[in-house]
Homo-oligomer: A and B are copies of this chain.
Amino acid sequence: MTMAEPRPLTAGPAAPASDYAGRPVYEIARLSKTYARNRLTALTDVSLTLHKGEFVSVVGSSGCGKSTLLKIMSGLLPPTTGRVVLEGRPVTGPRDDIGMMFQQATLLPWKTTVENIILPIEIRQGRAAARAAVPRAMDLLKLVGLGDFGHVYPGELSGGMAQRASICRMLISNPAVLLLDEPFSALDELTRDFMNMELQRICAEQQSTAFLVTHSLAEAVILSDRILVMKPRPGRIVEEIVIDLPRPRTLDMINTPRFGEIVAHIRDLLGKEAFQ
């Protein structure tokens, strides 16, 4: 199933998830998270559903709990209360079918870029499989513009290059669900646009479900089927916006009035609560 058909063009608050075509794969209900260390309530009463093949983005101000939400969804942090269910099974720890990209690149300094990228394969399938994945890793590196840097150690990469390498590391194992925490924040617009289009292509090809944290509204709109808007203190979802632009999306859609309208709408929403 591809996402190319146009869908009901309702960009409004909380469009019921059942309107959506795919079968629900990810269900989160009444999630809340309080960090024990500082007794800070990072998330409160978060509920959301992801459908098969859907691309959902989260936007919200810095510190509103986006990374926390992703870590809970990927099974890295336990929720304080609430339900997290993926493919009918509660998430109580990391799962093979989830690919996670962290806000920090976190490459191992004693492995070359390509060795870092095949690490998930090495972990899950052993060394032989990892060796076999090297050509694919090199392809991915070429794709993100790091073709010449496969055999270089991470200490010799720039900030954006490390980020791109960590995207490759997530992609190498073709996960069914992608959780991405600001994957393109250190990239220039051009590379970013290019990466966005590649991400769309990869998700469509593999029918992956994707959940993206981003600060770029344009990026969120161009990639997503839905955008969730979060507000801080305590972190919660205040709005859900269905993006009715047709698929596949292209970069020139950015210049369409509909696109500008949606971006303006979200900016408005975020702006409602004054800074501080």
Contact = CB atoms under 8 A, between A and B. Distances in A.
A38 B154 CA distance: 12
Contact of A61 (B152, B188, B217): B188
Given A186-B182, A190-B267, A103 B217 contact: no
Interface in A131-159: 142, 145, 147, 152, 155-159
B217 A189 contact: yes
Contact of A185 (B186, B267, B271): B186
Given A191-B275, A275-B145, A62 B186 contact: yes
B152 A190 contact: no
Interface string A33-67: 00101101000000000000000000111110011
Contacts of A35: 156
B145 A276 contact: yes
Nearest to A145: B276
Q: How large is the interface on A (under 10, 10 to 19, 20 to 34, 35 or more residues)?
A: 35 or more
A18 B103 CA distance: 42
Interface string A173-186: 00000000010011
B61 A190 contact: yes
Report, nearest first, the 10 A-B pairs whose CB atoms are least far apart. Answer: A62-B160, A103-B159, A63-B158, A188-B215, A185-B185, A61-B188, A63-B161, A194-B275, A190-B270, A145-B276
